[in-house]
Structures are given as structure tokens and as C-alpha cells.
Amino acid sequence: MSSPTPDSNLIRGHLDLILLSILRGEPKYGLEISKLAQERTNGYFDLRIGSLYPALHRLEKAGFIAGEFRDGPRGGSPVKVYALTEEGGRELEARRKDFQTFAERLGQLYQARRPA
């Protein structure tokens, strides 16, 4: 069963965190990243190519990921695969902690009672 899709501003504001999270572990190519985002979130994250590749290029330029061309899946054309760098791993942890703190504080606001 698919989840409802999030507001596009939520995705845009957290796209780097989403991509860095997906790139933990083995290197992955663009379509694979998009499919994993959908699979791992039951369709909640549907990353569009128009936002995916510019974000990957931005993360690569920042040194958080490294890209290299490799033979394509099933012997197809070469594809650019991306891997998390050490700096990217540190950035992922920092962003994850920031997001966790943000979510906790938002929860506190939501649960706060209004004065009588």
C-alpha cells in the first residue's frame, strides 16, 4: 500500500539528507537511487529526475559524494555511480542529528498546551 505523497517543499528541503542516507553503503546510480527511495518508503519518496540529478551534482561538487562511470547494469551503457565520501558520512550524521532535533522540537510545540 502506498503512502500519501509529501508536500514537494518537504522533499526539496530534505533532499540532500534523503540522498546521503540512500548512498550509505554500496555505490548507486541515479535510477537505482530513485527506485530505492520509493521501495524503502513504500512510495512516499518519489524522486523526480529533474531534481535528483542536480542534487547529486551539487553534493558531488560539495565533496559529500564521489561519482564515477562504470559499466551499466546487465552490460548496458556506462552509468555514473555515486558513493558517499568520508566527508559525506560526517555531513549525513550532522544533518540527521539536526533533523532529529528539529522533529523533537516540533513535537514539543505540537504537544504544548495552550494557556487557560
Ranges of the chain whose pLDDT falls below 50: 1
| Structural domain total, the chain | 1
CATH number (domain holding residue 34): 1.10.10.10
**pLDDT of the residue at 16:** 95
In a domain, 49, yes or no: yes
Structural domain for 24, as ranges: 8-111
The strand pair at 28-29 and 65-70 is best described as unpaired
Domain assignment present for residue 1? The answer is no
Are the beta carbons of 18 and 48 closer than 8 angstroms? no
Question: What is the predicted pLDDT for the residue at 70?
Answer: 92
pLDDT number for residue 13: 84
Contacting residues for 31 by C-beta, under 8 A, at least 6 apart: none
CA nearest neighbour of 23 among 66, 77, 68: 66
Check if the beta carbon of residue 65 is closer than 8 Å to that of residue 88.
Answer: yes
Residue 2 domain flag: no
How much is the pTM? 0.86
Give the model's pLDDT for residue 6.
Answer: 77
